[in-house]
Structure 1
Amino acid sequence: MASLPVSAWPTDLDTLAQPPRPRLVAVEASAPAIAAPARLSALEWSIVALAERDTIASLREPGRIVAALENLFGVHRPNKLANSRLEVLRRVAVFVWRQGWKVPKSELEAFLAEGFTLDQYELIQASIAERAAPTRRRGRGR
C-alpha cells in the first residue's frame, strides 16, 4: 500500500482551500402570523339556527312516488337554499343538530370544498353543543 510522506502535506495555511465565508442576509423581523379566530357571518349563523328545525330526512331527495304522495297529502318539505355555499352549511348544521360529531365524511368534504375551514366547523359544533345542552335551573334545591 502506498502512502505519502508527512512532509508532502502543505504547511502553509494559505495554500489550503478555504471554505467560502458565510454571507449574512438581512431578514425582516416580523411578528409571527397569528391565525384569525374562526368566524361566521350573521347570515351564516341564521342558517345554522334555522337548521335546528330541519330533520335528516330533509336532506334526502324524495323519489317520484314519495314526491307524489307529499303533493297529494300536502306535506311540506324544506326547500334547498339557492346558494350552494349556504346549502352546504345548512346540511352540516342539520347533521350537527341531529347527530353531534357524526357528520358524514362526504358532507364535511363538501363543507371544506365550499371554502369553510375546520375551525369554522368546530365553532359550529361548539355553539350547537352549548345551545343543545340541558339548561340548569337556578334556585333548585332550596
Structure 2
Amino acid sequence: MASLPITAWPAEPASVMPIAKPRLVPVEAVAAQTPAAAARLSAIEWSVVALAERDTVASLREPGRIAAALESLFGLHRPNKLANPRLEVLRRVAVFVWRQRWKVPKSELTAFLAEGFTLDQYELIQASIGKQLSSSRQRGGRS
C-alpha cells in the first residue's frame, strides 16, 4: 500500500486575512438607487395612459381615402391624435399595452424611446396596466 510522506507542521501560523466588518445600509438608500424608483410619469402622462384604455388598435392606423369618406358620410368618430407628439407616442404604446399586453411593435417602442422615455418607464406602464387588468378580472370585469 502506498502512502504520501507526512510533512512537518509549519513553524509559523498561516496568515489570516482580516474580514471587513459588514456595513448596514438603510432600505430607503438601496431603494433610491434602483432604476424602478427613478421611473416616473407625470400626471398628464398617466391620464394619457388611462385614456388609451378606451381606444382600439385600429384607432392607431391612418384611414385610407375610402375609409375617410365613409367616416365623414356616416358621421363615424375616430379618436383624435394628441397635439403633443410625445404624448401621442405614449398613447400609442399604451393602446398596444392595453390591447395586446407585451406585444408592442418594435417600431412603436423605438419611437417611444426616441421621444425621451426610458425602458423603466415602459416597464412601469406595463406593470400598472397589468395590475389594473388583473384586478378587473378578479372583480369580474373584462378579460
Shared fold (TM-score, shorter chain, > 0.5): yes
Alpha carbon RMSD of aligned pairs, Å?
1.8
Question: Structure 1: how far apart are the matches of 2:73 and 2:130?
Answer: 38
Q: Structure 2: state its 5+ residue gaps.
A: 1-28
Question: Structure 1: how far apart are the matches of 2:42 and 2:107?
Answer: 24
Name the TM-score, length of structure 2 as normaliser.
Answer: 0.71
1:116: which partner in 2?
A: 117
Question: Structure 1: how far apart are the matches of 2:138 and 2:121?
Answer: 24
Give the number of the structure whose residues are more often helix, by fraction: 2
Q: 1:119 Cα deviation (Å)?
A: 0.3
Runs of 4+ that moved beyond 3 A: none
Q: 1:136 Cα deviation (Å)?
A: 4.8
Q: 1:50 Cα deviation (Å)?
A: 0.1
- Residue type of the alignment partner of 1:113: A
- Residue type of the alignment partner of 1:67: A
Question: Structure 2: how far apart are the matches of 1:67 and 1:136?
Answer: 39
Greater C-alpha radius of gyration: 1
- Which deviations, in whole Å up to 9, do the C-alpha atoms of 1:10-48 show, x marking residues without a partner? xxxxxxxxxxxxxxxxxxxxx999245210000000000
Q: How many aligned residue pairs are there?
A: 107
Name the TM-score, length of structure 1 as normaliser.
Answer: 0.71
- Residue type of the alignment partner of 1:109: T
Q: Structure 1: state its 5+ residue gaps.
A: 1-30, 138-142
Sequence identity of aligned pairs in percent? Answer: 80
Question: Structure 1: how far apart are the matches of 2:75 and 2:131?
Answer: 35
